[in-house]
Amino acid sequence: MTKLKTFPLGGIHPDKYKITTDSPIIDAGLPEIVYIPVKQHIGSPAKILVSKGDKVKVGTLLADADGIVSADVHSSVSGEVIKVESIEGEFGYLEDMITIKVEGDDFEPSIDRSTDINREIELSKEEIIAKIREAGIVGMGGAGYPTPVKTSIPENKKVDTLILNGIECEPFLTADDRLMVEKAEQIVIGAKIINKILGIQNAIIAIDENKPHAIETLSKITKTYVGVNVQVCATKYPQGGEKQLITAITGREVPSRKLPIDVGCIVQNVGTVFAVYEAVMKNKPLFERIVTLSGDACLHPANYRVRVGTPASFLIDKSGGITEKVSKVIFGGPMMGTAAFNINAPITKITSGILLLSEELSHKTEPQDCIRCGKCVEACPMGLQPYLIGRNVRNEKFSELAACHVLDCIECGCCAYTCPVHLPLLDYCKIAKSELKKK
Amino acid sequence: MEYTILLSILVLGVTAFISAVVLYLVSRKFAIPEEEKVSQIEEVLPQANCGGCGKAGCHDFAITCAHADAKTFSKLHCPVGGNEVMKKVAKILGFKPTVKEATVSVLRCNGTCQNAPAKIQYDGIFSCRVANKVSCGQTGCPTGCLRLGDCVKVCQFGALSIDKKTGIPVIDEDKCTSCGACVRTCPRQLFEIRNKSPKGNMVYVACRNTQKGAIARKNCKAACIACLKCNKINPDIKVENNLSYIPNTVSADDYGQELAQSCPTGAIIFTHCGDKKHD
């Protein structure tokens, strides 16, 4: 057996807890009220177009992209806008949101709701980019970078490889896994669409070896599509990181503070690619996504198809609610996600999971002094020295942080995971990054 | 054996002696003559090296004073030593001392455990600066005190302590030198250096929440709701962005009592000389 591809430096093998791998995607249904934030992406918030009392349908444009690095926001339900104001968001800080009372489920007539698969790509490159922009698509892996910006290649750069990120290396999360099993062909067509924009012929779908169903389904389908191949990778966290994935697949290393495009690669999450397919072929804006509701304290773990703006508490109630066993609620994965301040916060385009963890898994041990074992250095996939960053932050020596290359940190949390004395190294790295960005 | 020991003592001793002589000569030759005034001023300064005066420590302040003319000197002030020390410095330099009003640091938040009960449990790094980034804090108020005591850690004079009952820091007015360390540290800019009135009283709005009254009150009973009652008592008090601010020009002796009593939420705090109330 040949050795499976993976990135060379660092990485860890956390317990997988992929309990929802075999649960098919189910429709979460409609809540009574949705809260749609106008900023669900990196960049400037979108400009609000609707006002109180307006009637909207599923897919109606609510807010317009403000500038290039920004994205349109569409309504995910039909009904009446009852409030346009700041509401407590995920972290308790106020965010601009459009509150809509759900009435019925009317779609905009332009949206093609049939389930048949359109295979012919007839539009030109410019038309496709315009469609992606109008659909408000952003990177759905977690960063929320507007996709049209990512796929528009500057003239002096050249791209030769499109990588579809189906790694999903975070424990518990299975949203991408299920999507690849159930919408395999659509994802492959989506890859061909992005290929057309980039003007290249090949795409690689990278999947971790711990997803046998997805590998099997996609391998079968890609046989009929020239240029699209499945690449199985050895399981290691954080393989889903853009830079790690490029190194694993192509062997190229993205230089410090550069973008994947500088080494001729574009990485897109499979969820994003599916959204691109739906936008281009079905005229469907991005208003729903797959969310994994899981955790060891969750009574009925499942993968849901959720309308953007649905309060997280609606999903949690569907999965058995918050029981006595739940000690922490996390938005996102257990490694990179954040503890929720407000469980009524809405699901956004970039929420990939909601986890209900028990005391056992969320317990934090009191940190002790660094014993200089170097485990964090071994685990860091970016080759940084987290113990040194932590020490400089603790001693407030912010001037020395730039030399530690802390801005290259991808915040994967491997350092804190391996630390035998439970130092909050990731927290230190995050403080260091924000201190450096201040200057 | 004995010989080796004696030899090493001898060799080291001679080396040390020669080095000492060389060092002495070099230090004499290259000595930088220090101005007499600077060392005199430095002697009367409190040597807290807190940076409250805006200079990099007491030595730097002494140099600045020694080089200042009458006009620039009137702007220099050592907040720790206060008027007494500045009088001495002025005497050394032969300038007229300028008298500054007594000041003290105040906490512009009354989000005690009773007024703003905790909604979530924070278990991250025990530091306000970190907690401020992660979420809006236990109370849900995005501008309120995080109760983790970064200010207590930076206070060199032991003037700050977290009250166990209320959860928020308390300032000991006798110990506070208004050096401003807490002002610079608080990630939510909750501290303010305020003038004391001639009688030693103060009146200020202990809230920085700019949310609408109803939203602010949901999280904290003592939030300013911008009802404008204080503005009716003294029109100098400005109410902007759903928040009232009492400028230093409003006399605490004349209006303090009335303002504090008129505030429906208890956001306005009136302190008599020395005692501080948070309830």
Report whether pLDDT(A118) > 90.
Answer: no
**Residues of chain B above pLDDT 70, percent:** 97
A434 touches B: beta carbon within 8 Å:
yes
Number of residue pairs across A and B with CB atoms under 8 Å? Answer: 32
Q: What pLDDT is recorded for position A388?
A: 94
* pLDDT higher than threshold 60 for residue A1: no
Query: What ipTM was reported for this prediction?
Result: 0.76
Single pTM value for the model: 0.83
Cβ B243 vs Cβ B226: under 8 Å:
yes
Which of A92, A339, A431 lies closest to B142 in CB terms?
Answer: A92
Q: What is the pLDDT of residue A60?
A: 92
Contacts of residue A47, defined as CB under 8 A and 6 or more positions apart, other chains included, come to A38, A63, A64, A65, A66
Question: Quick check: B278 pLDDT over 60?
Answer: no
In chain A, what percentage of residues exceed pLDDT 90?
Answer: 64
Nearest-Cα distance to chain B for A120, in Å, is 46
Asked if A434's CB is within 8 angstroms of B142's CB, the reply is no
Residue of B nearest to A329 (CA): B120
Name residues 176-235 of chain B within 8 A of A (Cβ).
211
CB contact under 8 A, A88 and B140: yes
**Per-residue model confidence (pLDDT) at position A316:** 93
Average pLDDT, stretch B105-110?
Answer: 92
pLDDT tens-digit profile of A31-40?
999 999 999 9
Across the range A189-212, mean pLDDT stands at 92
CA nearest to A367 within chain B: B125
Task: Give the count of alpha carbons within 13 A of A125, CB side only.
Answer: 9
Q: To the nearest 10°, the Cα dihedral for A207, A212, A217, A223?
A: 60
Q: How far is A321 from chain B (nearest CA, A)?
A: 18
Q: Does B125 touch chain A (CB under 8 A)?
A: yes
Q: What is the pLDDT of residues B239-252, one digit of tens each?
A: 888 899 998 888 88
Is the distance from CB of B66 to CB of B52 less than 8 angstroms?
Answer: no
Q: What are phi and psi of A200, to 5 degrees?
A: -125, 175
- The string of pLDDT tens digits covering residues B33-45 is 777 888 888 888 8
- The closest alpha carbon to A382, from A207, A258, A249, A270, belongs to A258
Exposure pattern of A282-315 as b/e (b: 16+ CB <10 Å)? bbbbbbbbbbbbbbbbbeebbbbbbbbbbbbbbb
Question: Which residue is closest to A88 within chain B, CA to CA?
Answer: B140
Quote the pLDDT of residue A312: 93
Quote the pLDDT of residue B277. 43
Q: What percent of chain A has pLDDT over 70?
A: 100
Radius of gyration of chain B (CA): 26
CA dist B90 and B102 (Å) reads: 18
Instruction: Show residues of chain B in contact with A94, CB under 8 Å.
Output: 142, 211
Per-residue pLDDT tens for A233-258? 999 989 999 999 999 999 999 999 88
Residue of A nearest to B218 (CA): A88
A274: number of Cβ within 10 Å: 26
Region A411-431 average pLDDT: 92
Residues of B in contact with A427 (CB under 8 A): 124-125, 130
Residue B66 has pLDDT above 70, yes or no: yes
Asked whether the predicted pLDDT for residue B276 surpasses 50, the reply is no
Written as six digits, the tokens of A358 are: 């028990």
Nearest CA in chain A to B134: A91
For chain A, the maximum distance between any two Cα atoms, rounded to a whole number of angstroms, is: 64
pLDDT of the residue at B273: 61
* Residue B79 sits at the chain A interface (C-beta within 8 Å): no
Across residues B88-102, what is the average pLDDT? 84
* pLDDT digit string, tens, across residues A131-151: 999 999 999 987 889 998 888
Q: Distance, in angstroms, between A389 CA and closest chain B CA?
A: 15
* B130 touching A (Cβ < 8 Å): yes
Q: Retrieve residue B81's tokens.
A: 């030593």
Pick the range with the lowest mean pLDDT from A59-63, A175-179, A180-184, B138-142. B138-142
Chain B contact present for A216, CB below 8 A: no
> How does residue B178 score in pLDDT terms, banded at 50, 70 and 90?
confident
Dump pLDDT digits (tens) for A393-406.
Answer: 988 888 888 888 99
What's chain B's average pLDDT? 87
Q: Is the pLDDT of residue A180 over 60?
A: yes
Angle at B106 between CA B101 and CA B108, to 5 degrees: 135
The 3-state secondary structure of chain A reads: CCCCECCCCCCECCCCCCCCCCCCEEECCCCCEEEEECCCCCCCCCEECCCCCCEECECCEEEECCCCCCCCEECCCCEEEEEEEEEECCCCCEEEEEEEEECCCCECCCCCCCCCCCCCCCCCHHHHHHHHHHCCCECCCCCCCEHHHHHCCCCCCCCCEEEEEECCCCCCCCHHHHHHHHCHHHHHHHHHHHHHHHCCCCEEEEEECCCHHHHHHHHHHHCCCCCEEEEEECCCECCCCHHHHHHHHHCCCCCCCCCHHHHCEEEEEHHHHHHHHHHHHHCCCCCEEEEEEECCCCCCCEEEEEECCCEHHHHHHHCCCCCCCEEEEEECCCCCCEECCCCCCECCCCCCEEEEEEHHHHCCCCCCCCCCCCHHHHHCCCCCCHHHHHHHHHCCCHHHCHHHCHHHCCCCCHHHHHCCCCCCHHHHHHHHHHHHHHC
A12-29 pLDDT, tens digit per residue, is 999 988 999 899 999 999
| pLDDT > 90 fraction of chain B, expressed in percent and rounded | 24
Q: How far off is chain A from B125, nearest CA to CA, in Å?
A: 7
Confidence category of residue A2, pLDDT binned at 50, 70, 90: low
pLDDT, mean of residues B95-101: 82
A289: tokens are: 């996504």
Q: What is the pLDDT confidence band of residue B279, given thresholds at 50, 70 and 90? A: very low
